[in-house]
Amino acid sequence: MNKTTQTVITSSITGDSCIKINHSSGLTIYVAEMEGFPMTNALFAAKYGSINTKFKTCYDDDYCTVPEGIAHFLEHKLFENEDCDVFSLYAKTGANGNAYTSFDKTCYLFQCSDHYKESLEILLSFVQDPYFTPESIQKELGIIGQEIRMTNDDPGWKLFFNMLKGLYHEHPVKIDIAGTESSIAQITDKLLYRCYNTFYNLHNMVLSVSGNCKADEILEIADRLLKPCENIKLESVFPDEPMTIVYPEISELAAVGTTMFCIGFKCAPKDGFSSTKAQIEAYIAAQVLTNASSDLYCSLIKTGLINNVFGSEIFNGEGYFAVVLEGESPDPYLVKEKIIETFEKAKETGLDAELFEEVRRSLYGAMIMDTNDVNSVANIMMSSHLNGETPFNTIELLSKVTIDDVNRFIREEIDTSLCTLSIVKSSNAEDMKGEA
């Protein structure tokens, strides 16, 4: 049996620190004792999301492929145990509990102002105690099926996933996190237990606690409640994804008041440190070229081509990376042309140095503010671990990024031909050009 070890990790930039515990059970625990804060946040997360549909362990001869949406389905079912609903347990401690499934992780969490130890006991207990039956699965099929139908009617959700379907040929990131009604119909209790025993292995999980808490108290609870497990050497695989797009344009009609657009530029995916570095560079590039101070934004606003909901984000994870811009416009095709022109010009001339520094300092300030937010600290520790990094990597990378780094990213990583324009227009409007 492995011994429990503790390490203090300190940021060379801010001086903030957290405690990393390699627990004998196999679980990694991060604790940030934030004196003077009244709240406690705890996250218990597995590196298991909607994209993890093909996997194997050291005990498997071949890869197992499971139905799309099973990670999300498992998250729903884990909140029910044989005796009662987990929310009723949290109600007794006064904690606000929740959970979510994303493309690459499943996270169970609570926030409280008192009785954090009792709430932590609830969290560690129910996540380690699955209870699935054919009857309960049949009941859940109807609930999640309704959720899928609701998201299919959400124009913003449809807009984003149509963009992903335009960018990605094979990668499961293009599939709705909840799956489809036909895919979840294939889920059985045996499949749920197989996915649980594979991905909810403590070696594939992390516990992150921040705020009004003590590491020794958390360790005592972990010693009592964590169930030691062996490292099964989990391996997830993804289909080969070509560096081409599927559709340059996808349009759809829906009950919206104004035309919505989402433009995605497909970039080569990165891993670990390289992914974080590229994300920072891509974010700064997109902000410098499209934020409210940029020439592009001012021009588009002045001509009425966009309104104030225009924005950008960097969408990246295991096997995928995209620079995404979205908003509302009477002519999304012209907006796309203007954005491409702006990126191409930046490749030739580079970014404005003053705007670059303004964006970099703004992002740096936001990260500093996050270190004084209990919820943000817990999420930073959790996410950085699942990405294979330390909690302070991002801010340290940001402190070193230069305009040359960002200009290189624009020149070498953004290919404006690898672009999908997704549009959702009012169902009362005229037929649109460019439908896929």
- Residues taking part in catalysis: 75
In terms of DSSP H, where are the helices of 79-230?
A: 86-93, 116-127, 134-152, 155-167, 181-184, 189-199, 215-225
What the block records as the tokens of 280 is 């920072």
User: How far are the Cα atoms of 102, 166, 315, 353 from residue 325, in angstroms, in the given order?
Assistant: 20, 14, 10, 22
Alpha-carbon distance of 284 to 61, in angstroms, equals: 45
Cα gap 351→260, rounded to integer Å? 28
CB atoms within 10 A of CB 152: 14
Q: Cα separation of 436 and 420, whole Å?
A: 11
Cβ pair 39, 372 in contact under 8 A: no
Q: Taking the mean position of all CA atoms in its chain, how far away is CA 176?
A: 13
Q: What is the DSSP string of 268-296?
A: ----HHHHHHHHHHHHHHHHHHHSTTSHH
